[in-house]
A and B are shown apart, each in its own frame.
Chain A
Amino acid sequence: MSNLLLFPVLIPLLFAAILLFFPKKIRLQRLIAALGAGLALLAVLFLIAKVKADGIQAVTLGSWDAPFGITMVSDLFSALLVLSATVITLFIIFYSFPTIGVAREQSYYYPAVLFLLTGVNGAFTTGDIFNLFVFFEVLLMSSYMLIVHGGEKPQLRETIKYLLVNIISSALFVAAVAFLYSVTGTLNMADLAVKIPQIEATGILTVIAVMFLVVFGFKAAIFPLYFWLPGSYYAPPIPILALFGALLTKVGVYAIMRTYTLFFTMDTDFTHELLGIIAIVTILAGCIGALAYFDVKKIIIYNIIIAVGVILFGVSQLNEAGVDGAIFYLVHDMLIKAALFFLVGIIAVIFGTSNLREMGGLIKTYPFLGWLFLVTTFGLAGIPPLSGFPGKLLIVQGGFEGPQFWGSIVVLATSLLVLLSVIRIFIYAFWGEPVETVPLKKSTYRKMLIPSVLLVALTVLLGVGAELFMPYISGAGEVLLNPSIYIDAVLKE
């Protein structure tokens, strides 16, 4: 019994609460916010070492027995995601120093970021379906505050839509939990995984499974439910956009992965085939958007949707290669999306616009930025030594071994479209005739570049050192494929 797995949730919460007391003292705000995220990162590193050495960590709060209290569970899968979320938040806090602006910093910006991290880490760690709802609301409340932070007209307009969509999906979540409770009589995920296979009427469970897919699909932006994402994510400033793009949809993806591997496995012919088809259509829809726009932010935003489709396709195959690939790609995608938004943010600041048609010739003045961006785009598309490759390779392999081989072909073909969509940014912004740029202070540029370089270096490391990370990834995949390990760890049978 160890409380170590609670620290990644509690440390950001504590530091966010401290930060509420002195909103005007910017330097102290920055220092404490960075300290909070840094300490949380340290705690996660300890946690991962512990989970790797001793197996799944589970704590039932208040010393109640497992199905009666709220259980917090940390297996390798959730620990890896907590690690990526904390790393990204730390970098985003550093990236915010030069970019977010004093007015926003003085209005509770850093507390909101840390509360968001609390919600995300909690959602990754919880072992109780209603507690998952509560952590979803924690992160959504912080995201409402962040998306409207500053109160510009487009932000106000888009927040209304974002808020409405999330209120509806939260109400559906409550309804889905109500149905699940009336069928099974429990809310603990491990206990659900025990009880659901014992129920003979699988029809109602399949309905509930699809309801959960709708609920989490709203958060994760899968095919017919992604309509809110491009507009809403376009409104806030770049650091907030990077935070949302890297973390928020991934929590929905995590929830789908968890529910669809742990307890909704009674009728995989229907539910997982549906998930696979939706994933493929999501990829196609994202590709259309990514190619249609001449706006750097819009292009990356649609790439979020593509990645969600790729990950869910890997999960829907329910075999070792597919699930391992999905986990690898999930971690890779969180890092690379944050890195891409960072770089695109620098480009947009230099040109003073995010319209590709008004850009050009940056390679002459900012060569390092250009090559860094090129490496990142290759990483996104999955060119071999870089981090997008191992995940996608495993997902494609999983697809060929699984029931939907044609899905793998779509994943492969759309990789080219992904590459095309981001390489277009490189071609338009860095090649061609130089256009007039907004003068950018050397120190500001350096402050923006350092977190981006570190994040890109991390993704390169993830790709080059894939062998090093594979034991963790396959350890995480093993728990997803064998729910009995998870159940035993929680219920201690």
Chain B
Amino acid sequence: MEIIMSVVIGFLFMAAVYLMLSKSLIRIIIGTGLLSHGAHLLLLTMGGLSGSAPPVVADGVSTADYADPLPQALILTAIVISFAVTSFFLVLAYRSYQELGTDNVNLMRGTEDYE
């Protein structure tokens, strides 16, 4: 199971890198979304996919059957953080489309230099 997950995560990272290297800003943001998906799945996979019961204390479940609760807590934290950053990024992209009039990152060059 971990092998399949690793391949899927690798594919997500690949797609993210491909999208983040493109010119359109919205594709870059989609790329960051895929990148954080990949990172979160990696966290889940690396914690180990063993355990048959959700980490909620219940009668009749032995401790060995619980899934590892720690990676789930870490993912929950990482998800809300990347939510916040992504929403900020989307608003920033909207504002810069209004102000700069383009979503092509190749055209967003610095021209304040004197040399």
Chain A interfacial positions (CB closer than 8 Å to B):
130, 133-134, 137, 141, 144-145, 148, 151, 153-154, 156-161, 163-164, 167-168, 170-172, 174-175, 177-179, 181-182, 187, 231, 234, 292-295, 298, 355, 357
Interchain CB contact under 8 A, A294 and B114: yes
Contacts of B39-74 to chain A: CB distance below 8 A? 39-40, 42-43, 45-48, 70-71, 74
Interchain CB contact under 8 A, B113 and A157: no
Interchain CB contact under 8 A, B99 and A141: no
The count of chain B contact residues (Cβ–Cβ below 8 Å) is 39
Contacts of B65-115 to chain A: CB distance below 8 A? 70-71, 74, 77-78, 81-82, 84-85, 88-89, 92-93, 95-96, 99-100, 105, 108, 110, 112-115
Residues of B close to A171: CB separation below 8 A: 32, 35-36, 38-39, 82
Q: Which of A151, A172, A178 has the most CB of B within 10 A?
A: A178
Besides the known contacts A160-B25, A167-B82, A181-B46, 11 further A-B residue pairs in the complex with CB atoms under 8 A apart:
A151-B99, A157-B100, A163-B85, A163-B92, A167-B32, A178-B45, A181-B71, A182-B46, A182-B47, A234-B110, A294-B114
Interchain CB contact under 8 A, B115 and A292: yes
Can you identify 8 A-B contacts, CB atoms within 8 angstroms?
A: A159-B92, A164-B32, A168-B20, A171-B32, A174-B78, A181-B47, A234-B112, A357-B114
Interchain CB contact under 8 A, B20 and A293: no
Interchain CB contact under 8 A, B43 and A174: yes
B22 CB to closest chain A CB, in angstroms?
Answer: 12
Task: Given A182-B46, A294-B115, A295-B113, decide whether A160 and B108 contact each other with a Cβ distance below 8 A.
Answer: yes
| B15 interface residue (CB < 8 Å to A) | no
Task: Given A141-B85, A174-B40, decide whether A157 and B47 contact each other with a Cβ distance below 8 A.
Answer: no
Interchain CB contact under 8 A, A178 and B42: yes
Give the nearest-CB partner of A144 in chain B: B88
CA distance A172 to B40 in the complex (A): 11
Residues of B close to A159: CB separation below 8 A: 92
Interchain CB contact under 8 A, A174 and B92: no
Interchain CB contact under 8 A, B20 and A160: no
Task: Given A178-B46, A355-B114, decide whether A164 and B92 contact each other with a Cβ distance below 8 A.
Answer: no
Interchain CB contact under 8 A, A130 and B74: yes
CA distance A167 to B83 in the complex (A): 11
Residues of B close to A168: CB separation below 8 A: 20, 32, 35
| B14 interface residue (CB < 8 Å to A) | no
Task: Given A160-B25, A234-B110, A295-B113, decide whether A137 and B89 contact each other with a Cβ distance below 8 A.
Answer: no
A37 CB to closest chain B CB, in angstroms?
Answer: 25
Residues of A close to B92: CB separation below 8 A: 148, 156, 159-160, 163
A478 CB to closest chain B CB, in angstroms?
Answer: 33
Residues of A close to B42: CB separation below 8 A: 174-175, 178
Residues of B close to A293: CB separation below 8 A: 113, 115
B77 CB to closest chain A CB, in angstroms?
Answer: 6
Of the candidates B71, B82, B96, the one whose C-beta lies within 8 Å of that of A160 is B96
Interchain CB contact under 8 A, B95 and A156: yes
CA distance A156 to B70 in the complex (A): 38
Residues of A close to B105: CB separation below 8 A: 160
Task: Given A130-B74, A160-B25, A164-B28, decide whether A154 and B89 contact each other with a Cβ distance below 8 A.
Answer: no
Interchain CB contact under 8 A, A154 and B25: no
Residues of A close to B77: CB separation below 8 A: 130, 134
Give the nearest-CB partner of B36 in chain A: A171
Residues of A close to B70: CB separation below 8 A: 181, 187
Interchain CB contact under 8 A, B99 and A156: yes
Give the nearest-CB partner of B113 in chain A: A295
Residues of A close to B113: CB separation below 8 A: 293, 295, 298
Interchain CB contact under 8 A, A156 and B96: yes
